[in-house]
A and B are shown apart, each in its own frame.
Chain A
């Protein structure tokens, strides 16, 4: 070869998927296509790469740093999509703004982030999710949460929890502190890291006192069931904070009515993504995984960047992370291996079997019976069909039966039912 690149070497952060690994992703995708479609969401397929400026619109600096960028032949800066929400927002705001609202979209596709592989997620990974656009209602918030919960269940996950908050509450309290940007960022960081020492230091340094200081100290511990809403009301004085709590409670009421409340932990102490989300915001957690398994929320400001102001709410899950915890049962092996002569003679019969869902491989190496038995065994195929004399031979789980064509047709007609 003469090149320094070893055959089979691939860059850090991507994976080759085949056999069960690929079959598991495919099975997850199949279930999710089915589920999202059944809730009336239509698929959206954005381009894999776009203009860099478009893809980072409205996103935070941290994500911008993690985008794979490259230059095309005209010298334009392009990037691989780091998520699906921004492309969906672009498409909706620039092309579909005059369509009947609301718009319901789902996506399943590969996204790319320049970050250290963690918890099953590589630099290229599969993201699935929905966006519900053009509806700023409690019902829309609740539907997205319900669908997020159903999605985790569809993937076979149980025992998960969704931490649900509303960014409006913390934003109102932070405004009340009347701090400038720099100390406010320190304050947010202290709350984000649950660092009470740093929190007290910032409050003392900038003379934040009284009810607001007390509220900011209490904020990180506001997490639990419905009672925390009452506790939060005691802390809030402003109308914005009241409105945020009222919205959160209304969403929670509906989820309770649908029987989803047992998955929900109300959590008002989360500062993440305050720059991005404008209303409810949530993350899914599950034992055994040190990172959130899914996340979402309302982002009413994003679409305005693309020329048309539309409210929007959605969620996303990375399939590789979900797969760390539970794998769907898949088999990469076919149900039946058919010898070359038998495949030639039984084309129509095998066709109807395949149509009824059987997975059938025909032998293309034209092996003899002994070699076929060995191949079936080594690849975990439990049934073998071949020609034998005037008729056919079925070898299944070490038992051999010889059948004439009429008998075989009868038997296969039972299988296709």
Chain B
């Protein structure tokens, strides 16, 4: 049997996927769990894992270097790669929001001249602004976007928030939500045709794990 390759994003999402697979009975070599190896198989050799930078996961999968992958919906939509996305994994939840200083709140952005927006997500930001009929200059940054309004680089920003604490600490307020994100299982289109049954079986397994986990969360909420 061919080994299916799964691209995982280095970092927090990786740990959560590995937890889920461990819960499903897959076993991993010790070095893999410590995150030292960039490529490893599970003990049964049915799955091979590669660890990639999150933003690169869709590329690995679209080109078929990896059959499947796990990636945040925010990264997936920003990259506009042509992939199948059969399952939401229920973790890594966060929101892509438009934010700015309090004085912007309530203002009609369509009427603001020379609006500048700082973001790590230029494609999604442009889509949103086009959809809203707002003209804006997009200033792409690669991190610490919440700095931008304070130093006069931009009037508003589009960034990912989990709790919103970082925004508040920088004196910013949320203006709108562009996207509710969570971890998504993605599949290469050709692999899906070629390994339909195995991929479907894996999707079903993960799907049951997600359901179990969600049920657990609800139980926690009730107590």
A interface residues with partner B (beta carbon < 8 Å) = 118-119, 161, 163, 193-197, 221, 223-224, 265, 267, 283, 285-292
In contact, B85 and A194 (Cβ under 8 angstroms): yes
Nearest A residue to B67, CB-CB = A290
Contact A161 B85 (CB under 8 A): no
Known A118-B63, A119-B63; contact A195-B86, beta-carbon cutoff 8 A: yes
Given contacts A267-B193, A289-B190, contact A194 B86 (CB under 8 A): yes
Taken residue by residue from 194 to 209, chain B's Cβ proximity to chain A (1 for < 8 Å, 0 otherwise) reads as 1010001000000000
A265-B193, A290-B65 known; A196-B86 Cβ under 8 A: yes
CB-defined contacts of A118 to chain B, threshold 8 Å: 62-63
Q: Which of the residues B84, B86, B193 comes within 8 Å of A285, measured between beta carbons? A: B193
Count of inter-chain pairs, beta carbons less than 8 A? 50
Contacts of A196 in B (CB 8 A): 86
- Name B's A-contacting residues (CB within 8 A): 2, 61-65, 83-86, 88, 187-194, 196, 200
Docked complex Cα distance between A289 and B65 (Å): 8
Chain B residues near A224 (CB-CB < 8 A): 196
List residues of chain A with CB within 8 A of the CB of B196: 223-224
Rounded to whole Å, the gap between the CB of B3 and the closest CB of chain A is 12
A-B CB contact pairs (8 Å), 10 listed: A161-B194, A194-B86, A195-B86, A196-B86, A223-B196, A287-B2, A287-B194, A289-B64, A291-B189, A291-B190
Given the known inter-chain contacts A119-B64, A289-B64, please indicate yes or no for A194 contacting B192, CB distance below 8 A: yes
Are A285 and B63 in touch, CB under 8 angstroms? no
Cβ B190 vs Cβ A193 within 8 A: no
Within 8 Å by CB of B194, from A194, A221, A285, lies A285
- Cα A30 to Cα B64 in complex, Å, equals 29
With both chains docked as a complex, state the minimum distance between the C-beta of B180 and any C-beta of chain A, in angstroms: 12
Find B64's partner among A163, A194, A197, A291 (CB 8 Å cutoff): A291
Given contacts A193-B84, A194-B84, A196-B86, contact A290 B62 (CB under 8 A): yes
Tell me the minimal C-beta distance from B183 to chain A in angstroms. 13
In the A-B complex, the 6 residue pairs with the smallest Cβ-Cβ separation, listed nearest first, are A290-B64, A194-B84, A194-B86, A285-B193, A285-B190, A290-B63
Task: Select which of B62, B65, B88, B191 is within 8 A of A197 by beta carbon.
Answer: B88
Q: What 11 new A-B contacts, CB under 8 Å, besides A119-B63, A223-B196? A: A161-B193, A194-B187, A196-B86, A221-B200, A267-B193, A288-B64, A289-B190, A290-B63, A290-B190, A291-B64, A291-B189
Task: Name which of A221, A267, A291, A292 has the most chain B CB atoms within 10 A of its CB.
Answer: A291
- Give CA–CA (A193, B192) in the complex, Å: 11
A161 to B196, CA, bound (A): 12
